[in-house]
Structure 1
Amino acid sequence: MMWEERFAELSTVAARQNGMITAAQASRIDVDEAALAHLTDAGLLMELDWAVHQLPWSSLGPRYAFPYAAWLALEPASYAWERVPDAVLSHESACGLHGLGSLTSPLIIFTTIAERAAPKGTKLNLSPLGADDVALVKGVPVTTAQRTIVDLVTDWTDHGALRRVLMDALLRDLVELTEVHRALAPLAARHEFPADGTEFVQYFIPDLTPAQLSPRNRRGYTALMSPDRVADVEPEVARLIEAAGGAPDAQAVRDIAADIVAQTGSPG
């Protein structure tokens, strides 16, 4: 096979993997190490690490390319589309990908649902992953912002660092505040932070103001900071919905009540 044909075959696979291919994947299409070396010398490939190669036209910069290359290296012989989301970037590495806080790690950290060998420079945490725990950022499988925050708490991350992560996640609307509170409240006693909604907000995001938040998080902020005022408004909201011929849904009533309180005065 001519070099051009080998490169065309390789490019077809890499195009489905953010412009990357492992040496083991290349061998499946009869592109051996000698061919990879030739293509690298010709400037048509760049080896990142872990025997993972990137094509020049790949749109991924280093922030995304190296985590994705490490993810491919977890199962180097499998194509990305053959894999289920059984291993994803997590913890400090997920923060880096999402752009949350300033946490760093010398290793690329993954959460995986099954034991496997860890490529050099990586750390694997064994833990279940639900469908709602996984997102794609620039094609890189990663824990969602909320799951990332829960993992950091469980891993005893410093609360000062957690404040910055949560603040960034809220300002970028990557999480919903009441859902984060609901997920973290059961961990509060063990990890020594307040479980009460108002105290939770005051502890983790004391400098945040409602005007900085998206509508859904302004609503959530109000619900946590002014639960009694929201509860006082709920019966009237439910009555108006019934008068209009609707069937009041508890969550919808609570959300509307929180919106009303947020719009009629500062929560707290």
Structure 2
Amino acid sequence: MWEERFAELSAVAARQNGMVTAAQAARVGVDDRGLAHFAASGLLVELDWSVYQLAWSSTGPRYAYPYAAWLALLPELYRWERPRSADEDAVLSHESACRLLGLGSVASPLMIFTSPEALEAPRAVKIHLARLTPEEVTVVEGIPVTTAHRTVVDLVADWTDHGDLRRVLMDAVLKDLVDLRALHADLAPLAERHEFPGDGARFVEYFIPDVDPAALSPRNRRGHAALVHPERIAAVEPRVAHMLTEAGAVPDETLSRDIAAEIISRVG
């Protein structure tokens, strides 16, 4: 009997990063007594929030705990019964997203999610109520999480310490998890209220003062040049546009601006 029940439990857990909630276990006929038996036998490990992990699961703590918390938000539902689109479900966010994405070292005692609808928060879990777009959500090791761009915007809006923000932004830019120009465009309207520089050059100096442009991805080298040397790019862009027209290219302001930014980023 125990073997049959554990086989059913394992089949469910295998589709959920090796994890299963107590409520899900009850659906396959394994009650609390059964879970205690499997834990005592060394077959299961209780993580938290009444979520258990198969002892031989390869999912490490960095991913296991946020995934367990995510399961615990809707403990009766199997993963495949939850919304197919990640942005329609609860999504790991804010400081918890930073930990998962490897951005900075923002401390938080809570596991933080953003959800489009109100949910009952388990112990040590905080839920922000907001609707995200598909472009603001990614999936890491099965865990829906806000993109680095959305995570930074959330941290700023949530009044995160600027010292912590600097470390987060530096990691996000160096790992090419954000487009520096696009991030600045979304943060600039928040600058006055949250007391940081909105001007491009001063924004870069304030948040990523020690960054070496040569260490950046091509798009962020161009973004860095666009923010720090806008006047030089503006001087070069008309000549680039003229050359493109002479070469038979269809007039494209974005292309000519990017080429001008690339030139300035290379000449320093």
Quickly name the TM-score band, shorter chain normalised: over 0.9
Report the alpha carbon displacement of residue 60 of structure 1 after superposing the two structures with TM.
1.7
Aligned to 1:19: 18
RMSD, aligned CA = 1.4
Report the alpha carbon displacement of residue 140 of structure 1 after superposing the two structures with TM.
1.6
Aligned to 1:31: 30
Partner of 1:136: helix, strand, or coil? Answer: strand
The letter for the 2-side match of 1:37 is: A
Distance 1:191 1:131 in 2: 27
Partner of 2:104: helix, strand, or coil? Answer: coil
**1:187 counterpart = 2:190:** yes
Q: Which runs of structure 2 are paired with 1:174-253 in the superposition (5 Å)?
A: 174-253=177-256
**1:82 counterpart = 2:81:** yes
2:167 alignment partner, one of 161, 164, 167: 164
* TM-score of the superposed pair, with normalisation by structure 2: 0.94
* TM-score of the superposed pair, with normalisation by structure 1: 0.94
Partner of 2:227: helix, strand, or coil? Answer: helix
The letter for the 2-side match of 1:182 is: A
Distance 2:178 2:234 in 1: 24
Report the alpha carbon displacement of residue 243 of structure 1 after superposing the two structures with TM.
2.6
1:145 alignment partner, one of 145, 148, 160: 148
Report the alpha carbon displacement of residue 188 of structure 1 after superposing the two structures with TM.
0.8
Report the alpha carbon displacement of residue 260 of structure 1 after superposing the two structures with TM.
1.1
Partner of 2:57: helix, strand, or coil? Answer: coil
Report the alpha carbon displacement of residue 67 of structure 1 after superposing the two structures with TM.
1.1
**% identical aligned pairs:** 64
Unpaired stretches in structure 2, ≥5 consecutive residues: none
Deviations 1:21-60 (A, max 9, x none): 1111122222333322222222111111111110123222
Unpaired stretches in structure 1, ≥5 consecutive residues: none
Aligned to 2:52: 53
Distance 1:17 1:257 in 2: 48
Partner of 2:144: helix, strand, or coil? Answer: strand
Partner of 1:54: helix, strand, or coil? Answer: strand
Distance 1:178 1:122 in 2: 33
Report the alpha carbon displacement of residue 210 of structure 1 after superposing the two structures with TM.
0.3
Deviations 1:157-206 (A, max 9, x none): 11111111101111111111001101101111111111111111111111
Report the alpha carbon displacement of residue 257 of structure 1 after superposing the two structures with TM.
1.2
Aligned to 2:128: 125
Partner of 2:20: helix, strand, or coil? Answer: strand
Q: Which runs of structure 2 are paired with 1:80-119 in the superposition (5 Å)?
A: 80-84=79-83, 85=86, 86-119=89-122
Change (3 A) 1:83 1:250: farther
The letter for the 2-side match of 1:66 is: Y
1:254 alignment partner, one of 240, 254, 257: 257
Distance 1:38 1:233 in 2: 72
Change (3 A) 1:57 1:247: farther
